[in-house]
Amino acid sequence: MKAMLRITKYLGRNEKMDTRASLTLPFALREKSRQRAELDSGEDVGLFLPRGTVLHDGDLLVAENGLIIRVRAAHEVLSTAFARDWMLLAKACYHLGNRHVPVQIAEGRVSYLHDHVLDEMIRGLELDVTIETGPFEPESGAYHSHGQHGHVH
């Protein structure tokens, strides 16, 4: 039986670096620094990254055998709320944040993992909500530093 490939190093992003392997994970699994996973090629791997590491689309990882692996954000079902008025969008972000819902914010829109109860709350704030599929890259939060994926104390 072949030993499981161990991934132990986080390199951050480097779009120019050539990789021969990729690992596609949904957001919930990109938040876990210790887990078993499967490369897109089907090979079993174990992630043994520093605790608190959150992986983002395009990040690079290094396995113990030197293999460089690019992380890909899996497509997930998202609810996206659109607002022409920035104040409505701010209110939506406030109410989602008050419920500790991870959100991805862009110009005139906020996305979160699909939840029909949250959709109704946001529609009640007079925003349009659509269901779509795509990668989910939520805001990291005020307590995450810009260069690292851990907490700032």
CATH code: domain of residue 87: 3.30.70.790
What integer pLDDT is reported at residue 146 of this predicted model? Answer: 40
Q: Same structural domain for residues 81 and 67?
A: no
Cβ-based neighbours of 93, under 8 Å, separated by 6 or more = 103, 105, 110
First to last CA, the chain: 44
Q: Same structural domain for residues 69 and 94?
A: no
Q: Tell me whether residue 30 is in a domain.
A: yes
What integer pLDDT is reported at residue 143 of this predicted model? Answer: 52
**pLDDT at position 29 over 50:** yes
Q: Same structural domain for residues 68 and 79?
A: no
Domain boundary among the residues 25, 48, 73 is at: 73
**pLDDT at position 27 over 60:** yes
Q: Same structural domain for residues 18 and 60?
A: yes
**pLDDT at position 130 over 50:** yes
Q: Report which DSSP code applies to 92.
A: H
Q: Same structural domain for residues 14 and 56?
A: yes
- Residue 94: domain span: 75-135
**CATH code where residue 37 lies:** 2.60.260.20
Largest Cα–Cα distance of the chain, in whole Å?
59
- Give the count of domains, the chain: 2
* pLDDT tens by residue, 69-102: 999 999 999 999 998 899 999 999 999 999 999 9
Q: Which of 127, 136, 126 is nearest to 101 (CA)?
A: 136
Q: Tell me whether residue 113 is in a domain.
A: yes
What integer pLDDT is reported at residue 91 of this predicted model? Answer: 96
Residue 98 C-alpha from the chain's centroid: 20
Q: Tell me whether residue 96 is in a domain.
A: yes
Q: Determine what percent of the chain is predicted with pLDDT higher than 70.
A: 90
Q: Beta partners for 53?
A: none
Q: Tell me whether residue 148 is in a domain.
A: no
Angle between helices 116-124 and 86-98 (to 10 degrees): 140
pLDDT band at 141 (very low <50, low <70, confident <90, very high): low
Distance CA 135, CA 71 (A): 12
- 3-state secondary structure (DSSP) of residue 133: strand
Q: Tell me whether residue 141 is in a domain.
A: no
